[in-house]
Amino acid sequence: MTNSSKCDWMSPARVNLKGMITGYDPETLREVVDRAAAELRLQELGNGRSTAALGEKAELLRLLGRNGEALVAAEQAFRLAHFGGDREQLTTARLRRARVFQYQGELDRALAEMIAVRATAALEEWASLEGSAAYSGGTVLFDLGRFAEAQVAFTAALDIRSGSGAPADEVESVRFALETATRLAATNG
């Protein structure tokens, strides 16, 4: 069973995942992916080497479970963003790389990165990125079985996304995660 909401979870430097994410697994909160659409988009990107192309490749590869390749693309996007000097793009690349760490099982490293990204985004008043970092941090806490803490992170993400006028699909995805974490926090003490 999946949630039917669709979300482009990485708002800044938007990666277009619409149509590729068909829902969310209610037990893991991981994206349910239209693999054919993701593979097609990956082919369309070809050998693109811009920060945006590498960031999109990292997302697609992560969604397809190709975490080693996703990390290579995420690291390349991070380096390009670093040398490009755009702080928001660099912070976005850092969050994207942290999501790959999460999918590789490096949960403590992923959480530390997501907390730092959220703090930077809050300081810079990048609400979309702050909301994404809060949401992503909540998913790591969820993976760690820390459901009450995930609930707090998802509540913050919902407040940020709702308050900043985020697209309805982004608000819906965090609502779904919050409901799931709330239920599990109540049943698991």
CATH code of the domain covering residue 80: 1.25.40.10
Whether 184 maps to a domain, the answer reads: yes
CB-neighbour burial class of residue 101 (10 A; exposed 0-12, middle 13-18, buried 19+): buried
Residue 167's domain comprises 21-188
Domain annotation covers residue 47:
yes
Q: What is the pTM assigned to this prediction?
A: 0.88
Q: Tell me how far apart the alpha carbons of residues 74 and 60 are, in angstroms, rounded to a whole number.
A: 11
Q: What is the pLDDT of residues 82-125, one digit of tens each?
A: 998 889 999 999 999 999 999 999 999 999 999 999 999 999 99
Number of structural domains in the chain: 1
Instruction: List the beta bridge partners of residue 33.
Output: 21
Segment 132-153, tens digit of pLDDT? 999 999 999 999 999 999 999 9
Query: What is the pLDDT, as a whole number, of residue 189?
Result: 63
Is residue 58 a part of any domain in this protein? yes
The backbone torsions φ and ψ at residue 177, rounded to the nearest 5 degrees and listed phi first, read -65, -40
In a domain, 124, yes or no: yes
Q: Would 115 be classed as within a structural domain?
A: yes
Return the top range by mean pLDDT from 49-63, 74-88, 105-119, 166-180. Answer: 105-119
> What pLDDT score was predicted for residue 111?
98
* pLDDT given at position 9: 38
Nearest CA-CA partner of 16 in 58, 75, 68, 56? 56
Residue 11: what pLDDT? Answer: 39
Share of the chain above pLDDT 70, in %: 90
> How far is residue 4 from each of residues 23, 28, 157, measured CA to CA in Å?
5, 15, 19
CB 101 within 8 A of CB 112: no
